[in-house]
Amino acid sequence: MIGVLNKGISKNREDENDMIQIRPLSHDQSVPMDLLLLADPSTEKVLAYVQSGSCYVAFHKQDMIGVYVLTPLSQQTVEIMNVAVKESWQGRGIGKQLIRHAISAAKAAGFHTIEIGTGNSSIHQLALYQKCGFRMASIDHDFFLKHYDEPIYENGIQCMDMVRLSIVLQAD
């Protein structure tokens, strides 16, 4: 009985996820700071990379429920600087859709490599990125101690180092 009920719920979620549209933020829409600040506590840093990158937003009907920002680091490499899903929509596969969309957009734009960075304490994000094909590339030791004023804790772990992950999109 529980199995049947769960199948019903996941079918509804699949139908709901089919109704999600991801598209570039249009010029008449303001940057969704409330969503972006879920992923990065620094308003100053968010505003800086949004300006030099492309912001994509996910809509369910008229409701903006997710965002990601793709910022070129060089001609070859692009980074997902921010990805966030509205709290009431988290855990329903939208994050995965956004990351997959970012990978496709980077590929379509001709980039060789896509990167993403996250904290050593961001266990959920490390799982999500690896499920989307990212491999660990390097560790930026003490990044969060050097660049953020307040100490950050997640999952009972202090966030100190940035784990950098990447996917090679095109063979040389």
CA distances from residue 112 to 9, 39, 87, 108 in whole angstroms, order as listed: 39, 25, 32, 10
Shortest Å distance, C-beta 87 to ligand COA: 8
Among 45, 60, 92, 107, binds ligand COA (CB under 6 A): 92
Query: Which helix H or strand E contains 138, and what residues bound it?
Result: strand 135-140
CB of 75 to ligand COA, least distance (A): 25
DSSP letters, 47-114, are: HHHHHHSEEEEEEETTEEEEEEEEEESSSSEEEEEEEEE-GGGTTSSHHHHHHHHHHHHHHHTT-SEE
- Site pattern 15..54 for ligand COA (x: CB under 6 A): -----------------------xx---------------
Q: Are 21 and 65 in contact (CB under 8 A)?
A: no
CB of 171 to ligand COA, least distance (A): 28
Q: Among 90, 107, 113, 160, indicate the residue that binds ligand COA (CB under 6 A).
A: 90
Q: Which of residues 94-153 bind ligand COA (CB under 6 A)?
A: 94-96, 118, 122, 124-125, 127-128, 131
Q: Rule CB under 6 A: which residues touch ligand COA?
A: 38-39, 83-85, 90-96, 118, 122, 124-125, 127-128, 131
